[in-house]
Structure 1
Amino acid sequence: MRCTRLLTAAVLAVFAAGGARAAVFPYPAGAGNIVGRVRVVTARADDTLLDIARHYDVGYNEIVAANPGVDPWLPGVGARVVVPTEYILPARPWKGIVIDLPERRLFYFPPVTARHPIPHVYTFPVGIFQPGWPDPLGTTRIVAKRRMPRWVVPADIRARAAAAGDPLPRVVPPGPQNPMGELALETGFSEIYIHGTSRPWGVGRRPSHGCFHLYPEDAVTLFRAVAVGTPVRIIDRPYRIGQRSGLRLYLERFTPLRAYHRHHLPGMQAAIDAVTRYMARTGQRWTVDWGRVQRIVVREDPIPTPISQGSPPLARLLAALPARPYRYPPYGIDANDA
């Protein structure tokens, strides 16, 4: 119990200090599968949603979806910015690395050891594949860790780049122009890496040819924490169901990726299917507000939204959150180094 309190206090201290260099949380209590809390900040004249997102370890897709109608590049003085730092964890097993493609987020569940006896999870936003370059779904492992990697450009990427009038060399050496950044984890899937990036504003978007892009500071954290042999699971879950110790049921909805959903169920049917499967898996029952579910499925919402009958609407919960001034400097080019 004392160790749990110490870890929780350490996690809270990181967030209280405003830093989210490593978004790490103790496992949720009981049957819960939700970690973190949403926060609200007020912007200054020169702030952008991209800087705010990076500071709190949130991707571009998440910060934009959480703030509809807010200009990502110029939110404005005093703008109330919702930072979606609350997450429904992927379905068990909670082991190794799990990457959810539509969420564009990586979860790392390290093994419990004598040095780290309390189960905890890291989570980081990632950039994923461009349309036409889908990632494989399934399981593999980390097969190598590479510092200052060189990029051996695959032939199909060189061919497409040449056809677009932007030819690439066969090999891009380590350095600031290398899109692999300074640290890379090689997976067992052919030519698929989890790595830093020289273009961090692509995190949370679709900039890659199959690799997963991390903010440089997150690449450092993950590189240090992960061992060769760590299992990797790549999943596709546009609808995720969660709870906080059996109290309320929550739904997150992310835009399905066409590469995997050309013949997918209609949105409402997919949400119903996700809810019923979750209840069957947990053996628990809730009375669901299906009207609220219907409203959720027509938009992308990175914030877990309560869908239990009688639970307050998300807008009311967000409006009740205190807004704190955002006080951190913008990121410069020097922040691209790991």
Structure 2
Amino acid sequence: MLPRVTALSRCLSLAAVFVAGPASALELPLPPPGEDIVGQVQTIKARYEDTFADLGNQYDLGYLEMIAANPGVDAWLPKAGTEIVLPTRFILPPGPREGIVINLAEYRLYYYPKGGNTVRTYPLGIGREGWGSPVANTKIIAKITNPTWTPPASVRAEHAADGDTLPAVVPAGPDNPLGPFKFVLGLPGYLIHGSNMKFGIGTRTSHGCFRMYNNDVLELSGLVPVGTPVRILDEPYKFGISGGKLYLEAHTPLDAKGDPSTEDKHAAVINALINRKDLSGHVTVNWDTVRDVINGEDGLPVEIGTPDDTLVSGQ
């Protein structure tokens, strides 16, 4: 039986924790065949002037994932010397490792360069309630530098109701909410684009499109060709194998109504595990640890069991 985990031991069990300097986009080597985890957890010491929004921009992390990985720390005044966890270890999303994969529940995009042995991952802003981003399979159909923005009638009406009259067309420039670049998706009306509001990255703030830090979308613009497949998932619970151990990464479900019980979340994890045909029926799971992980929802991969040849135990 695996020991139950506290917030600190959960973090320390994931990887060697170390102090790191400023970083930009995360480019990580793919794991060997049969393994699913990339990256390393990092920690830094906060300076007096630091906020989670600024640290997210500096280390290419989203606002809500910083909040989740640092429970109890004031996001706007963490205090000088406070240890801040940078959640830079990830279980790769399920399914083919090709093209672009977006996981809505973790506000994150993964890009697998064709013919390469790396993955690049970036934080995203996604659609807010009432304007949710879709779950779908699509592709990149166009790339546009310095885009103009033509607000849809629904968006103009929403702003007008708040006393804010939008122009019919917003020209390219620093006031354009699409930032310096946009990818057009094969889903009518949906884009991956930059933003003139960097503090919205890693939150639910858009009208359904996918917002990126401007330096990230510009980097991606030079890497991703037209025709690249895009797979959009909503997976709050990801499973992965690393070093012969089974890991779970839990995020807050997007569509949860009210405050779901531990039992409901537990059932959702069981269903997610069953849907992993390569794991279902071939692992022994410590469900006490699973309860800790899904209650914490800190977005960090945590060891929950071991693969074997027996049926899943403890359900």
Q: How many Å apart are 1:273 and its aligned residue?
A: 1.7
Is the counterpart of residue 237 in structure 1 residue 235 in structure 2?
yes
What SS does the aligned partner of 2:127 have? Answer: coil
- Identify which of 40, 49, 56 aligns with 1:46: 49
Q: How many Å apart are 1:206 and its aligned residue?
A: 1.1
Alignment RMSD: 2.4
What SS does the aligned partner of 1:269 have? Answer: helix
Give the aligned partner of residue 30 of structure 2. Answer: 27
Q: How many Å apart are 1:147 and its aligned residue?
A: 0.6
Q: How many Å apart are 1:308 and its aligned residue?
A: 1.7
Say whether the 8 Å CA contact 1:58–1:124 is kept in structure 2. Answer: yes
- Say if 1:19 and 1:284 are closer, same or farther in 2 by CA, change over 3 A: farther
Give the aligned partner of residue 65 of structure 1. Answer: 68
Give the aligned partner of residue 153 of structure 2. Answer: 155
Give the aligned partner of residue 108 of structure 2. Answer: 105
CA distance in 2, matches of 1:121, 1:267: 29
- Say if 1:19 and 1:29 are closer, same or farther in 2 by CA, change over 3 A: farther
Say whether the 8 Å CA contact 1:128–1:212 is kept in structure 2. Answer: yes
Q: How many Å apart are 1:85 and its aligned residue?
A: 0.2
CA distance in 1, matches of 2:33, 2:124: 29
Say whether the 8 Å CA contact 1:56–1:85 is kept in structure 2. Answer: no
Give the aligned partner of residue 90 of structure 1. Answer: 93
Equivalent positions of 1:148-297 (< 5 A) are: 148-245=146-243, 247-258=244-255, 266-278=264-276, 280-282=277-279, 285-297=282-294
What SS does the aligned partner of 2:205 have? Answer: coil
Q: Deviations over 1:89-134 (max 9, x none)?
A: 111211111111111000011110xxxxx42111000000011001
Task: State the AA in 2 paired with 1:149.
Answer: P
CA distance in 2, matches of 1:283, 1:45: 47
- Say if 1:282 and 1:259 are closer, same or farther in 2 by CA, change over 3 A: closer
CA distance in 2, matches of 1:285, 1:237: 21
- Say if 1:249 and 1:75 are closer, same or farther in 2 by CA, change over 3 A: same
- Identify which of 122, 125, 139 aligns with 1:124: 122
Say whether the 8 Å CA contact 1:101–1:236 is kept in structure 2. Answer: yes
Q: How many Å apart are 1:256 and its aligned residue?
A: 1.4
Q: What TM-score results when the alignment is normalised by the length of structure 2?
A: 0.86
Say whether the 8 Å CA contact 1:109–1:120 is kept in structure 2. Answer: yes
CA distance in 1, matches of 2:117, 2:81: 39
Q: Deviations over 1:235-270 (max 9, x none)?
A: 11111111214x211111111122899x99921101
Q: How many Å apart are 1:19 and its aligned residue?
A: 4.2
CA distance in 2, matches of 1:59, 1:130: 15
Say whether the 8 Å CA contact 1:25–1:122 is kept in structure 2. Answer: yes
Give the aligned partner of residue 301 of structure 1. Answer: 298
Q: Deviations over 1:126-163 (max 9, x none)?
A: 00001100122111111111111000100111111111
Task: State the AA in 2 paired with 1:108.
Answer: Y
Q: Deviations over 1:205-239 (max 9, x none)?
A: 11100110111111111111000111111111111
Task: State the AA in 2 paired with 1:287.
Answer: T
Task: State the AA in 2 paired with 1:34.
Answer: I
Q: How many Å apart are 1:74 and its aligned residue?
A: 1.0
Q: How many Å apart are 1:175 and its aligned residue?
A: 1.0
Q: For structure 1, list consecutive stretches of 5 or more residues without a partner in the other structure.
A: 1-14, 113-117, 310-338
Task: State the AA in 2 paired with 1:285.
Answer: H
Q: How many Å apart are 1:281 and its aligned residue?
A: 1.8
Task: State the AA in 2 paired with 1:209.
Answer: H
- Say if 1:17 and 1:47 are closer, same or farther in 2 by CA, change over 3 A: closer
CA distance in 2, matches of 1:303, 1:164: 39
Q: How many Å apart are 1:283 and its aligned residue?
A: 7.0
Q: For structure 2, list consecutive stretches of 5 or more residues without a partner in the other structure.
A: 1-17, 307-315
State the 4+ residue runs in structure 1 displaced beyond 4 angstroms. Answer: none
CA distance in 2, matches of 1:21, 1:284: 40
- Say if 1:283 and 1:208 are closer, same or farther in 2 by CA, change over 3 A: closer
CA distance in 2, matches of 1:277, 1:134: 24
Identical positions, percent: 44
Say whether the 8 Å CA contact 2:19–2:44 is kept in structure 1. Answer: no
Q: What TM-score results when the alignment is normalised by the length of structure 1?
A: 0.80
